[in-house]
Structures are given as C-alpha cells and as structure tokens.
Amino acid sequence: MSSIPFYISNSLLFTKTGILKESNNLVVSNILKNPFKFIGLNKLPKRNIGMAWRCSADSNDGLVDNLKNNKIICSERVEKAMKSVDRKKYVSHSPYMDSPQQIGYGATISAPHMHAIALENMESFLRPGAKSLDVGSGSGYLTVCMAEMVGSEGKVIGIEHIPQLVDMAKSNVQKDRPEFLESNRIEFLVGDGRNGYPEEAPYDCIHVGAAAETTPQVLIDQLKSPGRLFIPVGSGSQYIYQFDKDVNGNVTKKSLMGVMYVPLTDAHKQLGGARR
C-alpha cells in the first residue's frame, strides 16, 4: 500500500485514494511506518493522540505503559483497569499489538488506544457504584475494564447482537473474572444495541463500540442527568461524539476525533460478509 492512511480506524482504513482497506498486519505495519492524522486532534489537547497505533508491546503491562508514556492514558484508574485485564484472555492473536484484531462474525476487538481513549473519556462517569451500558460488547474486554472501574457496587451491561459473540464474551469473562458474572456486576445480553437497554436505564454512561449512521435518540434518553454517551457516528466520515446530559437534562454534543469503526447495523448485514 503506497498511500498514507488518513483516518485511523477501529478495523478499517480509508487511504488518501479513498480505498477502504481491512486492517491487517500489512496495513498496520504501513501505519507504523507512515504518519497519519486524526481529525480533531486539536480538540484533545492534553493527549498525545498522534502516538495512537504506536503503542504495541510484548506484554499487557508494556502495552499499557506505552499508552501511558504517550499520554493516551492519563488517569491512574484507567491504567489500573487496563493493567488488570490482560487482552490475551480476550483475543488470542496479536493481543498486544496496538491495532484492532478480528474476533469472527464480522467483528473486531478495538485497538488498545481506542479502548484507552474511551475509558479516559468516560472516566468520571465510571465512578464506583455507577451503572453503564456497553453497546456492541464483542469480546467483552472493554466491558470488563468498565466493570473494574465501577467496582463491586456498580454494574455494566454488555449488549451485543451476535449470540455467538455474547457466548464468547461470557466464556472469556468466566475464565478471567467469574465473580463478575456470578455477582451480576456484568451482564451480557443478546439484543440490538441501537435500542439501548431500557430495562436497566438510566445509565451514568453509555459506550458504543460500532458506528451508528445517526445517533440513536433512545441512547441519549437512557442517560442519567448527568450522564455521558461516547459514540462513533457516520457512514462515510465517522467521528466520535460525546453527548453530555447535564443535571437539568440539557444535552450538549461535542465532536472528539475522526475514526472508522465497524457499523452499528443489522445482524444479518454484518454476517453477510463476515469471516467466521
């Protein structure tokens, strides 16, 4: 690939020629060699987002240290959570590479830097005792990090529309943190995350791990006052948006950065082109 990627992505890349490529080792190694830019970098002044994709290591601690040294992780609570959850238990191949990895059924485990950015963004809403929703919970990795942060009094619901991925997440967590499932600190559900999960609403924060074409209003409706929604939105160009509901229920929207995530879509569409 000769062109320089200009959107960083969860699992796919747009190049300057407009070609959409799947993220794989070839593309990732190209990223490591080439500069790229984040849209909206100036909107995240405190973090060294330009070092995203470059934090690969040969251990979980090394990966988290790199994310910290490059100021993608700034919070001790995020560092502690990510150090306590070994990615290897959620993806068997290249777990410490700072790139997304396929987990089957057309899904990926997001890149470590995107997990770090999401946890940093939601940090103040993932306080002990908080209730949170993880839409598109996939491997279960981020759900567990979130559960670490909300503590034993908190709760995180992972909603995922591919039943096999829900089984995979449950099995991963059963091996890594069985007590989280036994105590209901984490609950995994099969469902269309575009509807959120009204039964347990309202939530202190909602994380969405796949890109919505437009922001589902129901997710904003399911936020507490105050509460935060972290969501990639868009079908061509995608941006992470942060929606904040204040104590009076007023909602503000902030664009954080350009990304490319897998779509928040119908299960049959996702499975249509999926490699198992």
> Active-site positions?
110
Given candidates 159, 186, 240, 257, which one binds ligand SAH under the rule CB under 6 A? 159
For 54, counting Cβ atoms within 10 Å of its Cβ (0-12 exposed, 13-18 middle, 19+ buried), the class is: middle
* Residue 129: half-sphere exposure toward Cβ, Cα within 13 Å: 0
Tell which positions 100-129 bind ligand SAH, by CB under 6 A. Answer: 107-110
176 belongs to the binding site for ligand SAH (CB under 6 A): no
Reading the block at residue 106, the tokens are: 């057309």
Given candidates 122, 162, 168, 205, which one binds ligand SAH under the rule CB under 6 A? 162
Given candidates 121, 132, 172, 265, which one binds ligand SAH under the rule CB under 6 A? 265
161 belongs to the binding site for ligand SAH (CB under 6 A): yes
- Closest approach of ligand SAH to the CB of residue 45, in Å: 26
Q: What is the DSSP letter of 99?
A: S
Chain Cα centroid distance, residue 17: 27
Nearer to ligand SAH, 46 or 187 (CB): 187
Given candidates 95, 136, 154, 234, which one binds ligand SAH under the rule CB under 6 A? 136
Q: If you count DSSP H runs as helices and E runs as strands, how many of each does the chain have, helices first? A: 9, 12
DSSP per-residue letters across 131-196: EEEEES-TTSHHHHHHHHHH-TT-EEEEEES-HHHHHHHHHHHHHH-HHHHHTTSEEEEES-GGG-
How much is the CA Rg of the chain, to the nearest whole Å?
A: 17
Contact 145, 119 (CB under 8 A): yes
- Rounded distance, CA 88 to CA 122, Å? 24
23 belongs to the binding site for ligand SAH (CB under 6 A): no
97 belongs to the binding site for ligand SAH (CB under 6 A): no
- Closest approach of ligand SAH to the CB of residue 77, in Å: 19
Per-residue mark of binding to ligand SAH, 182-221 (x: CB under 6 A) = ----------xxx--------------xx-----------
132 belongs to the binding site for ligand SAH (CB under 6 A): no
139 belongs to the binding site for ligand SAH (CB under 6 A): yes
Q: Give the residues lining the site for ligand SAH (CB under 6 A).
A: 107-110, 135-139, 141-142, 159-162, 165, 192-194, 209-210, 262, 264-265, 270
